[in-house]
A and B are shown apart, each in its own frame.
Chain A
Amino acid sequence: MVFGSSQKAAQLADDVTDVIPVRGRSLMHDAYTRFTRNKAAMGSVIVLGLIVLFVILGPLFAVWSNEEIDWDRMGAIAEQGAPSLENGHYFGLDELGRDLYSRVIQATRTSLLVGLVGAMTALIIGTAYGLVAGYVGGRVDSAMMRFVDILLAIPLTLVIILLLVIAGRSFFMLFVSLDAVGWLTMSRIVRAQTLSLKTREFIEAARAAGVPETTIMIRHILPNLIGVVIVYASLLVPEMILTESFISFLGLGISEPYTSLGKLIAEGAGTMAYGTIWQLLYPLFFYVTIIITMFFIGDGLRDALDPKDR
């Protein structure tokens, strides 16, 4: 009988040698758990999801398109234009006799798009700029950051208006001008984080191992920036929507046939004295809901990804 061939010994050997793999808890996994425990943030995600769903599926239920004019009711909007299920104008009519339901969907889509695309572009530009400035350091860094400081010292909304006036009001220019100012704060945050990261041991180790500088930047520093970047980007989304709505409210944003929530609110606010209050309330409701849910999501992300900063 060979030693260890008994069943008990085999079992023991199995137990000792077979390490049952424990699933590691990564930073992201922890953050995910923390985020899902945050009731306000999770509720906001659901509400925002419903709004997105509404924007996608809403047009299927629309009886009227956003451009059709309901000539029968156009003369008496205050009396006949109120929201009603029977005539298909679920949210009522706007001042020109167009269906507000379709207009609100169109506007919500624009505002969400502005927020997302704007924040994404600002994120990419800001991260790249801040990463280079922080990592290269020295004179390049001071020159790059002085430039940002100078731009930040100017009332940026006025710059956006200036750009829109000069280059013409179009969808493309709106994104360009929003992004022309949106990346500035992001680049400062990323630079600060890069500065503290690049003195860490693991960067030194990578350099000692002969990893090229660009690879260090992309493979070792960039992934460690994600937390900060996501948090700030999530705060940037409502800010972009706010700015766009503000400019559209002033009548300097995108022009017909496009519309955004700020513009609908402006139209509703202009006619609310004539008994057509729904023209203000529907866009206002969507607007405030989007902004508040985004705030909660941003706060939740910050608590989840950066637990010490509370």
Chain B
Amino acid sequence: MLIYIAKRILIAIPTLLILVIASFFLIHFAPGGPFTSERPLPPAVLANIEARYGLDQPLWKQLWDYLVNVFLHFDFGPSFKFKDRDVNDIIAQGFPISLTYGSLSFIAATLAGVSLGVWAAIKHNTWIDYFAVSLGIAAQALPNFIMGPILILVFTLWLGLLPGGGWNGGQWQYLIMPVIALSTSYMGNIARLTRSSMLEVMNSNFIRTARAKGLPTRAVIWRHAMKPTLLPVVSYLGPVFVYVLTGSVFVDLYFSTGGLGAAYVGSALTRDYAVLLGVTILYGGLTVIVNLLTDLAYAWFDPKIRY
């Protein structure tokens, strides 16, 4: 197991490195820098600005400095657009917000999805099952950017129950819609995955044995069927995390929650490459770490995997 963990971490490190280097080069070879404007700056001024941001150095030197700053100091450098803020400030301001509703959505999608899936599988071929399956399919066709407008339409414009956006320190009224919008479609995915996995497990021999021993259904499900049922779900949690991260870009923009997503889209539109690069690397890094964790969880969950 220890060797397996070490191996996985050894793969994760080059992944991160390549991520940073590739994004760095992509952005540096992009036409039109952050300082190109309609009125060209005098060369002397431009040279000064470039020196300020270290853009006059040779490329390998820039890359090296960037790598050292990112990996050793966790410093993503200054923003190109906001003179008084650096990328770390922007991340520190927005990331806690994105993390709050992101993790809530992650938990909500997983819990609701697994419960719905298990429930449907236990009541296989009853109206509960059909209801859960239709709900799962409908939910899958309603990604965050569809759910957002629908929720606002119903709960803000028609019923007037919930505020249409804002954060307000993370009060629950402000959290409900972002979390629902973000979690619905993955809830549907997880529910369908859990249901089919549970159905397969319930038909397997060891469950029949458990039943034949005379164990009550409750014990069969919780003690025997649950763990193998959750295996494919666990391996799907990594992708769900990525979707939640990506979806948070939409939530921040649409619900004005003030998280990192708004800064990301803003920097994409104004070509503030420093912010764009920083957020991409942060999210990429998080993804690599979460993938690592899911792999480890999977190894722990699956009795067939022995390292």
Contact = CB atoms under 8 A, between A and B. Distances in A.
Interface of A: 146, 149-150, 153-159, 161-163, 165-168, 242, 245-246, 249-252, 262, 265-266, 268-269, 272-273, 277, 280, 284, 287-288, 291-292, 295-296, 310
B287 A153 contact: yes
Contact of A295 (B137, B150, B287): B137
B141 A288 contact: yes
A284 to B, nearest CB: 7
Interface of B: 11-12, 14-15, 18-19, 23, 26-27, 29-31, 137-138, 140-146, 148-150, 152-153, 157, 196, 242, 245-246, 249-250, 253-254, 264-265, 268-269, 271, 276, 279-280, 283-284, 287-288, 291
B153 A272 contact: yes
Given A250-B249, A252-B265, A150 B149 contact: no
A163 B264 CA distance: 14
Given A250-B265, A272-B153, A155 B287 contact: yes
B26 A284 contact: no
Contacts of A273: 157
A150 B15 contact: yes
Contacts of B265: 250-252
A195 B279 CA distance: 38
Contacts of A155: 242, 245-246, 280, 283-284, 287
A176 to B, nearest CB: 13
Contacts of A265: 145-146, 149
B37 to A, nearest CB: 17
A249 B250 CA distance: 8
A158 B30 contact: no
Given A249-B145, A252-B265, A269-B149, A162 B276 contact: yes
A96 to B, nearest CB: 19
A158 B246 contact: yes
Contacts of A292: 137-138, 141
B143 A246 contact: yes
Contacts of B29: 166
B62 to A, nearest CB: 17
A23 B246 CA distance: 52
B198 to A, nearest CB: 13
A149 B269 contact: no
A190 B243 CA distance: 24
A250 B145 CA distance: 9
A295 B276 CA distance: 34
A280 B27 CA distance: 36
A291 B15 CA distance: 33
A265 B250 CA distance: 13
